Structure 1
Amino acid sequence: MAPPPPSPASGAQYAHQFLNTALSQRGPSALPYAEDVKWLIRNHLVALADAFPSLHPKAALFTHNDGRAAHLLQADGTIPIHHAGASYNLPAVLWLPEPYPRSPPLVFLSPTRDMVIKPHHPLVDRSGLVANAPYLRSWVFPSSNLVDLVRSLSHLFGLDPPLFTRSPQAQAPAPSPPILATPPPRTHPSSPSPYRFPASPQLAARPPPTEDPAEVFKRNAIAKLVDMAYADAATLRPAREAEVDTLFAMQATLRNRGEVISDGVHKIGEEKEALERRLQDVMMATDVMEAWVMENRKGAVAASNTEADEAIETADVLSKQMLECTAADLALEDTIYALDKAIQEGSVPFDGYLRSVRALAREQFFQRVLSTKVNKAQQQAQVARMAARVPQYAS
């Protein structure tokens, strides 16, 4: 069972939902339109469904003149017209070919079995293709759109309807074979169309009644003005297209330059951060050097006013303890050396020499053990001071 046609109030909403899904497809099921114009195609069809609720967007298979088949978007439904004081609806299909919207759409009238295309119509050929409409001939990207196209066709078809309903009394002549490719059949010809349209205009195939000459003159004047306007638009079309292409090229150039400038600014920012970190390191090292110079300058001034024994001042307790241990070790070494000289000269008895050397060697051992412990403590303190001087940066 075919789904019911969308109401006029929900036509734009249906178009939104359908087009969002259709144009977002990727891979083999993607529609053959350029990515940079898909948003514009969506806006054209949504605006058409909003302005003309009788035209609904679809996706169907279209067969080109060379036999190629492609899934394309279409607006299927009826075009409303006003003729001789009455309103009618012409069945039509607006196909959007692959180059759309840089190229105009393909508009076909799709008469029902009881309709016939008016022979020698100035805008519609025998196959139903709307080939000579001024708006299609003067199509300009990106300003041309489907809403203005349908409005133009509605006005022109109202002046000269291209479809007639066959008279029940007389058999209307059958249309000649198409000279162009006919539009591909709607989806599933054997199934009912998902949308049903009002009846087409019931125009008798007899001479029209006599009209007011003023109305005829007014209608002809309007038609001539419309043709002149479309002719002027067609004349201006090449210049406008060249201008649009120039603007697009300039836009692409500016976009590329913007990307280059953004990359340069990013690199300059990184270099600035590296230089700031280096500057902090240099400033901290300068502070440490200045503090060391000030401390040593004070020590040098104080040492000039002291005795020779007090010229060396230890920096901390461990340094003082190491100095004392080293001095005691060297003093004991000198004492043992003196005792060796004395025993060689026979100045001291041998048993007294042994007792003295044993006591001095014991004391020297303890001094050297203490010196080793103090040296290890000094190394740990130095590592701690170096770690404290390393600058800390917030992550």
Structure 2
Amino acid sequence: MVPPAVESPNPQLTQQFLSSALSQRGPSALPYSEDTKWLIRHHLLSLTTSFPSLEPKTATFTHNDGRSVNLLQSDGTVPMPYQGVTYNIPVVIWLMESYPRHPPCVYVNPTRDMVIKRPHSHVNPSGLVSLPYLHNWIYPSSNLVDLVRALSLTFAADPPLFSQRRAPRTPPSHNPNPNPSPNFDSFSSGSSNPGAFSSGYSRPSIPPNNYPPSPYASGSGRVQPSPTTTTSHHGEDQSEVFKRNAINKLVEIVHGDVVGLRKTREGEMEGLFSVQGVLKQREDQLNKGLKGMRDEMEGLEQQLQMVLMNSDVIEGWLRDNQGKKFRSLENVEDAFECVDVLSKQMLDCTASDLAIEDTLYALDKAVQVGSVPFDQYLRSVRALSREQFFHRAMVAKVRAAQLQAQVANMASRNQHYAV
């Protein structure tokens, strides 16, 4: 039967419900994009104003993969004019997570005494509706009000539901038991058991391609339309159409401006990220240079300590030998005495190295003027170079030993002064 006339819902309560549902945060928040919630609210309010029989709600939607999510829906009936009478088709309009950029999901929701027409060009056996308006959904101009009007026109051309007929009772003369069978009884009482429906259902006695005049009344029963459901959208005020088109155009312009502004900001962010990368590289270079300068400063401090130690040694020698006369010395070099074995080795090796260097220089001059044959020059250079290498290696070892001894001596002095 046609549902009774639906009272117009309180607009303030509907606005409060949508504002509260769309402003939720945390685990209970609806999975819609923040920049589209205002448009979703506008669509549902416009739908409730144009079609009071459709009420916005929140419910749990289960996807085909088993994932459940809390979504907005518009539940109620859609007016359908059929053979001069307006009927109400129960539907559920689900606003999916990507709404309004993508179309909603519309399901026909038959009651117990209704069945879905099979086959139907726009409704599958599960009740899912497929319309050209849904396939050609354009954001942001497409809306729920125009969708419901398209549903009404499509259902008027081909009703998706019709009432199920009850099987006639068996004449009592053929059955000694006056009571009908259990399955028949269960169907006659309006049971929704699928088994009862299959056992008690009989097809209408009309051609397969013709359906009852009323998609809700069986037999010859005729139902009067509800006064609130006979309004047709053909008589809609032109000012409302112009206002809606202007709002849609304004929304489209604002959306384009937002997209352009977003692209500009993304370009600026990319530039800032590039500058940040360059600054990061310079920071690494500065840190590396600072580390090198610190290492160099430590090396210079060690050399300064070595110079100070040598200065102390020279000043001590000058104090000890101040005023002494060395006229009795035949050789001036005898005035210098090595304080230890390492110093003597250093002096001998250094003198030998410098003497070999002078010899090699003299050989170069001699071979250039032809005083020394070339083969003899090569043999002499090879022998002198081997000997020079030996002296230089010895100098390096002696220098390392002296440095170690000086460090140990300085440590002992510091410890003595501390005591």
TM-score (norm: length of structure 1): 0.44
TM-score normalised to structure 2 length: 0.42
